[in-house]
Structure 1
Amino acid sequence: MTRTYSEFANESIKVLLNTLADESSAPELYRTTMVKLGMALGDVILAQISHEQCNVYLACTVEDADFLAKGMLLRLEKQLPNVAFACFWNQRFSPFEVEDITVAPILRKYQEPSSAVNYLIIVKSIISGACVVKTNLINLIQNIKPENIFIVAPVIYHKAEEKLRNAFEQSTYDKFRFFYFAKDNQRTSKGEVIPGIGGSVYERLGFQGQDDKNRHTPEIVKSRRKLISV
């Protein structure tokens, strides 16, 4: 097992990553750590983009909305004039029980309207097989034509970047930039990255599995929906 760190991972970030990897970390600590990592990733992104007249679109999955994505939004919305948001509920499974083949159809989504998008940011707690990111990105770019696509996570699997690029035409993957704190090169027989984020993010965040998180509506979605409807 080998973990490598990116240029963005200082000692404080490594402590947060170790908290995620520690299977004894309680759900409340895990959630707080995800928010902090989201804020740190937000700072990384802000250093990469032009702030003037900049339209940013942030997309996440339902389990990350109130934690990792919330942390990023806290940072982005303090500095940027226009940040739109989308949240996806995905059902990830392996057809015919073939672990190497996974799909992640969208059960429902919350998607805010936006005009021209300079930066589309896809944030996820961990990117391993990349099927969820691929599915949601395909859906987004049907309506959004971003100039740049940032794929962001605290931890990624070392083959994830190549696998995701291979799923798109060159005109799309040329827009990709990956931002992460740690890259791991080992997975279990069930496909779980080691040390990754310490297991299944659903249970670590306090959900009772995939079905439970897909019944959940994040607070961030509720509050933003109210603002739009006013």
Structure 2
Amino acid sequence: MTRTYSNIVDRSIQALLDTIADKHTEPALYQDTMTKIGMLLGSAVLSQISDTQGNVYLACTVEDADFLAKGMLISLEKDLQKVAFACFWNHRFSPFEIEDLKVAPIIKKYQEPVSQSVNYLIIVKSIISGACVVKTNIVDLIQSIEPEKIFIVAPVMYFEAEEKLKSNFDKSIYDKFQFFYFAKDDERTHEGEVIPGVGGNVYTRLGFEGQESKNQFIPEIVKSRRRKLTKV
């Protein structure tokens, strides 16, 4: 097993990654650590955004909304005039029980209105392994918006995930990709769990009972942002 770190990682970030990799970390600390990691990733992304008046769209999955994505929004909204937000509920499974074949259809989504032309589309996920969820959500988003750049952000990635994701898109799309991550791991179990990754199944680590549980959950950040939209 080999873990490599990106050039934006220092010892304090390594300590946060060790906390989420530790299978004994309690859900409350795990959630708090993910939020802190999100803030740090948000700062890294901000350093690559030259136009603070531009259109920025942040998209996440439901399990990450109140933690990782919330942390990113805290950082982004300090310097950016407006950040639109989208949240996806994906159901990930293997058709015909073929383990190497994964799909992740969207069963529900929350998507804030934004102009068709977007300067920066930011896709954040707690871990990117097979990339099927990220692929599905990007495909859905680019049906209605035309991003100039697509930032793909995760604390941890499997070492083959970048090329796997790019292989699903035409060059005109993947040329827009820029990846932000803290660590890459090169080992997975037969069940597909990245080692050490994020310490196991991120649904249960964050306090959900599993995929069905997280897909019935409505994040607080979605509730609060929806309320603000209805008051406008």
TM-score range normalised by the length of the shorter chain: over 0.9
Q: Is the 8 A contact 1:51 1:79 kept in 2?
A: no
1:51 is displaced (CA, Å) by 3.2
2:5 is aligned to 5
1:73-118 deviations in Å (ceiling 9; x for gaps): 0010110012000000000000111110000000000000111210
SS of residue matched to 1:117: strand
2:112 is aligned to 112
SS of residue matched to 1:9: coil
SS of residue matched to 1:225: helix
SS of residue matched to 2:93: coil
Q: Is the 8 A contact 1:127 1:156 kept in 2?
A: yes
Q: Is the 8 A contact 1:90 1:108 kept in 2?
A: yes
2:50 is aligned to 50
Amino acid at match of 1:85: F
Q: How high is the TM-score relative to the length of structure 1?
A: 0.99
Distance of 1:53 and 1:26 partners within structure 2: 39
SS of residue matched to 1:66: helix
Structure 1 residues 138 and 2, CA gap change in structure 2 (3 angstroms): same
Q: Is the 8 A contact 1:119 1:148 kept in 2?
A: yes
Amino acid at match of 1:49: I
Identity percentage of aligned residues:
68
2:40 is aligned to 40
Distance of 2:209 and 2:128 partners within structure 1: 21
Question: 1:136-175 counterparts in 2 under 5 A?
Answer: 136-175=137-176
1:120-153 deviations in Å (ceiling 9; x for gaps): 0000000000000000000000001000000000
Structure 1 residues not aligned, in runs of 5+: none
Amino acid at match of 1:154: P
Distance of 1:177 and 1:143 partners within structure 2: 20
Distance of 1:81 and 1:118 partners within structure 2: 13
Please say which of residues 49-58 and 171-180 is displaced more in the overlay: 49-58
SS of residue matched to 2:164: helix
Question: 1:23-102 counterparts in 2 under 5 A?
Answer: 23-102=23-102
Distance of 1:14 and 1:224 partners within structure 2: 32
Q: Is the 8 A contact 1:88 1:109 kept in 2?
A: yes
1:122 is aligned to 123
1:54 is displaced (CA, Å) by 1.4
Q: Is the 8 A contact 2:187 2:194 kept in 1?
A: yes
Distance of 2:121 and 2:206 partners within structure 1: 25
1:55 is displaced (CA, Å) by 1.1
Please say which of residues 46-55 and 56-65 is displaced more in the overlay: 46-55
Distance of 1:78 and 1:108 partners within structure 2: 29
1:53 is displaced (CA, Å) by 1.9
Distance of 1:52 and 1:113 partners within structure 2: 19
1:185 is aligned to 186
Runs of 4+ in 1 over 2 A off after TM superposition: none
